[in-house]
Amino acid sequence: MSQTATEERDLPASAYGEAELSDYWALLKPRVMSLAILTALAGMVVAPGSMHPVMAFCAVIFIAMGAGASGALNMWYDADIDAKMARTATRPIPRGKVPPDEALTLGAVLGVSSVIGLGVLVNWLAAGLLGMTILYYVIFYTAYLKRRTPQNIVIGGAAGAFPPMIGWAAATGSVSWESVLLFLIIFVWTPPHFWALALLRVRDYERAGVPMLPVTAGADETRRQILIYSILMAPIGVLPTFVGMGGWIYLAVSVIGGAAFLYGAIRAYVDRAEDQRAMQSLRRLFVISIFYLFALFGVILVEHALGLAGS
């Protein structure tokens, strides 16, 4: 733990402004939480059998709580580096709205409650996976990998890929290779998605001392890695069609989306000059990557709701 972070935690609560409800909501990283909810729901609906609506609702709530807990604990631990980065300087702790100890308490309470609630009301396999995901993200990624290795987002990205497996486990009480395929889609998607952002914010990471790949290996190598992962991503994204988890709509969306993803990665690789065109290519790739993943898992939900999956 850095000296700066320690000093921030030693500040009295009176040093912080009056927090609003929106500040505590921001601690939960609602955009990341929405992705966790979407992918967990997809895991539930493609799982064999049926799940009682009340049980499914409880599972989604607890998974959302667990994702929010991870976000709050991440912001608590990363308060020192968040204050040095333009992208994160407006978060509640560096902005002086929420004391770090309140973020820690919120994250811990939500985390423990989500795991216990999911275990008691749904099943303990899903709860165990949720607890492992929170610990993996907070301890293994945030506290260790992020500050020590340029492969932080590759290894740490597994935390964001677990929700569909948790959803599958909530519905079936087991884990299967189909849920692992959904995990794999998110796992391979994460590096090119995040490295596009890291290239746009490389000065932030340099200033904060975070060894992201663009900082340690340079922009050209990062673009090459983005292209490699994108080439892997495109065919993997299509696979659910051939194992009964997606129908013809999913096939069309995954093929078109994968082609757009790959084209964006190629443009980012070709446009290497440090100019406005190169930055525009990276921004385009980042936006494409967001729409791509939400589209894949959103279509899974729509097809299953309409009874079109596997058709």
Buried b (16+ CB within 10 A) or exposed e, 191-217: bbbbbbbbbbbbebbeebebbbbbbee
Of the candidates 183, 138, 163, 172, which has an alpha carbon nearest to the alpha carbon of residue 62?
163
For position 308, what pLDDT does the model report? 79
Of the candidates 118, 137, 132, which has an alpha carbon nearest to the alpha carbon of residue 57?
118
69, 209 Cβ separation under 8 angstroms: no
Question: What does the alpha-carbon distance between residue 278 and residue 96 come to, in Å, rounded to a whole number?
Answer: 35
Q: What are the tens digits of pLDDT across the range 212-257?
A: 999 999 999 999 999 999 999 999 999 999 998 999 999 999 999 9
Dihedrals phi, psi of 78, to nearest 5 degrees = -90, 15
Q: Is the pLDDT of residue 9 over 80?
A: no
Residue with tokens 């604990």: 73
Mean pLDDT for the chain overall: 92
CA dihedral of 35, 38, 42, 45, whole degrees rounded to 10: 160
Of the candidates 34, 117, 118, 109, which has an alpha carbon nearest to the alpha carbon of residue 73?
109
What tokens were used for 25?
A: 């909501």
For position 6, what pLDDT does the model report? 45
For position 307, what pLDDT does the model report? 82
The model's confidence at residue 1, banded by pLDDT at 50, 70 and 90, is very low
Q: Is the pLDDT of residue 181 over 90?
A: yes
Length of the chain: 311
Cβ-based burial of 10 (10 A; exposed 0-12, middle 13-18, buried ≥19): exposed
Of the candidates 297, 12, 281, 74, which has an alpha carbon nearest to the alpha carbon of residue 181?
297
How many whole angstroms from its chain centre is CA 236? 18
Q: Mean pLDDT check: name the lowest of 15-19, 202-206, 237-241.
A: 15-19
For position 120, what pLDDT does the model report? 97
Q: What are the tens digits of pLDDT across the range 256-300?
A: 999 999 999 999 999 987 778 889 999 999 999 999 999 999 999
Q: Is the pLDDT of residue 15 over 60?
A: no
Q: Is the pLDDT of residue 5 over 50?
A: no
Q: Is the pLDDT of residue 118 over 80?
A: yes
For position 16, what pLDDT does the model report? 66
Helices (H), the chain: 3-9, 21-27, 30-46, 53-77, 79-82, 100-121, 124-135, 152-156, 158-161, 163-172, 177-200, 202-208, 213-216, 219-238, 248-270, 276-306
Q: Is the pLDDT of residue 7 over 50?
A: no
For position 2, what pLDDT does the model report? 44
The model's confidence at residue 309, banded by pLDDT at 50, 70 and 90, is confident
